[in-house]
């Protein structure tokens, strides 16, 4: 098992999922709900997101092959997408866009299906997390231990989101406004570096 790969996968998954950043959004989505209702919403959303990310982790390469898309091309495209997300995080654009998504969903669905949309999709299993999962699965190169390790990393990342949702009130209060801003900026810079590495890997694979 490649521990360097697993470490990269862990950082990438945690940054793209951004559990602390989802805490205040979860609170706004579940406003007025009881503790039990919030727990049910959190559990259902995390299970849906886990199923989606696991599907793309296991079958993402097959989907790309069916569409005739090479992995190097997807690495470059995915890296650019992740860099865009990192840009949004660094300059506080992502949080505003997520909040707009939440407000639209609340207006349309009245929180009836909040676990599936927008919590599971696209806030948890969004384009960034799905792209990162497919890219990481490609880097696993069909190695079974690495694939199993990636699945465990995804499960751990989603579990972190679930724990954060359960403690959303305390986390938001503990971090405060300044803490959330600093953490988001820091994670954005880290994700930008990882995104550039994905692009470099893709270009290198094409050149060879």
Q: What percent of the chain has pLDDT over 90?
A: 20
The structure tokens listed for 112 are: 């009836």
What secondary structure, in 3-state letters, does 76-97 show?
Answer: HHHHHHHHHHHHHHHCCCHHHH
pLDDT at 103: 54
Confidence at residue 208, expressed as pLDDT on a 0 to 100 scale: 73
pLDDT-based confidence at residue 51 (cuts at 50, 70, 90): very high
Q: Give residue 31's region: left, alpha or beta (phi > 0; psi -120 to 50).
A: beta
Above 80 in pLDDT, residue 14?
yes
* CA dist., res. 50 & res. 180, Å (int): 25
pLDDT for res 97? 58
Name 176's Cβ contacts closer than 8 Å, sequence gap at least 6. none
In the chain the first and final C-alpha atoms are separated, in Å, by 25
- Nearest 5°: the CA angle 116, 119, 123 is 125
pLDDT digits (tens, 9 = 90+) for 98-149: 555 555 554 434 444 778 877 888 779 877 788 889 889 888 766 888 889 9
Query: Tens digits of per-residue pLDDT, 136-180?
Result: 988 876 688 888 999 999 999 999 999 999 988 776 667 676 776
- Distance, in Å, from the CA atom of 189 to the CA atom of 56, rounded to the nearest integer, reads 25
Distance (Å, whole) CA 23 – CA 32: 15
Cα 78 to Cα 81, 165, 186, 191: the distances in Å are 5, 28, 20, 12
pLDDT band at 20 (very low <50, low <70, confident <90, very high): confident
- DSSP letter for 56, please: H
């Amino acid at each position: 098992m490649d521990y360097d790969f697993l470490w990269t996968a862990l950082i990438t998954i945690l940054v793209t999922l951004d559990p602390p950043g989802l805490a205040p959004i979860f609170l706004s989505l579940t406003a007025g709900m009881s503790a039990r209702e919030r727990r049910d919403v959190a559990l259902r959303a995390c299970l849906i997101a886990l199923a989606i990310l696991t599907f793309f982790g296991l079958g993402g390469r097959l989907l790309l092959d069916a569409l005739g898309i090479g992995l190097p091309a997807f690495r470059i495209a995915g890296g650019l997408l992740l860099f865009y997300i990192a840009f949004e995080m660094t300059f506080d654009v992502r949080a505003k866009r997520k909040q707009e998504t939440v407000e639209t969903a609340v207006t349309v669905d009245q929180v009836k299906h909040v676990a599936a949309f927008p919590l599971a999709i696209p806030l948890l299993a969004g384009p960034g997390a799905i792209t990162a999962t497919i890219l990481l699965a490609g880097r696993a190169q069909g190695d079974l231990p690495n694939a199993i390790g990636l699945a465990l990393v995804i499960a751990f990342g989603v579990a972190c989101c679930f724990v954060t949702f359960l403690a959303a009130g305390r986390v938001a209060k503990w971090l405060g406004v300044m803490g959330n801003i600093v953490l988001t900026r820091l994670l954005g810079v880290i994700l930008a570096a990882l995104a550039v590495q994905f692009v470099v890997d893709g270009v290198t694979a094409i050149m060879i």
